[in-house]
Amino acid sequence: MNNVHMDFEAWLALATIATGIVWLIDRFLIAPRRGKHEEPNGFIEFARSFFPVLLAVLLLRAFVFEPFRIPSKSMVPTLLVGDFVLVNKFSYGLRAPVFHTKLLDLGEPERGEVVVFRYPPDPTKDYIKRVIGMPGDQITYADEHLFINGEPVDLEQLGVYDGPDADALSSMHQFMETLPEGMQHPILQVDGRRGPDVSVTVPENKYFVMGDNRDNSADSRVWGFVPEENLVGKAFMIWMSVDFSEFDVRFSRIGHILH
């Protein structure tokens, strides 16, 4: 049985069910007894008005797209603090709201995709990372180098990173990482800081994920694998970006497609 937590989706589902019950009772029991020109009471009118809106939001959020805000620097430079991303909820299968039971299998993550998932040690929290290891892969991260199935992953040095969310106390070096299938994405390494070394084989139906800010990310190197059932969806676009320290909208990032 899934561990059900009372998050926003749960409250939304409860509100939809409650207003839906009121709508049904009014539609089939109360409305036929009302006078032709008699108006329903305020509570019934409220439920009738909000039920279709809540139902539409629940279905859209559960099965189509869901917005998430980036709260940490673990995915810099790909994602910045204050980015708001859209997540495709049907990329990896349709799941029931609240209980997260898979209803329809529509695909699996591919290496290099940025995914949102329920944090395995605490499923009430959502995390966002990049898929690095697929089921059956041998993943080694040693001395700041990534190896997949014994082969080193190619890194091209791009220079010092001094963009948004740069570390004010240490130099951040930017690299372009090319995964075995050819997908490229930037990563960061921080002087004076070193991510944990690890060598593991990814179990069946699980994934090994990492943050692009390699020395500032708690990921599969720390807490283990992401089970398939914890996947929420594929992050594919930045729909809004706000620098909250300056209360400034980063218009140049809006509409950016994630790779």
Active site residues: 74, 129
- Other CB atoms within a 10 A radius of the CB of residue 205 amount to 11
Assigned token pair, 108: 């699996």
Give CA–CA dist 207/118, Å, rounded: 13
Question: How far is it, in rounded angstroms, from Cα 171 to Cα 190?
Answer: 6
Structure tokens at 259: 């790779």
CA of 78: how far to CAs of 37, 65, 168, 211, in Å? 59, 20, 18, 9
Cβ–Cβ under 8 Å, residues 248 and 139: no
Give first-to-last CA distance, the chain, whole Å: 34
Sort 250 into a burial class: Cβ within 10 Å, 0-12 / 13-18 / 19+. Answer: middle
| CA dihedral of residues 132, 138, 143, 145 (deg, nearest 10) | -40
Rounded CA gap, 78 and 156, in Å? 16
For 89-125, b/e burial (b = at least 16 CB within 10 A) is bbbbbebebbebeeeeeeebbebbbbbbbbebeebee
Q: How far is CA 17 from the centre of its chain?
A: 26
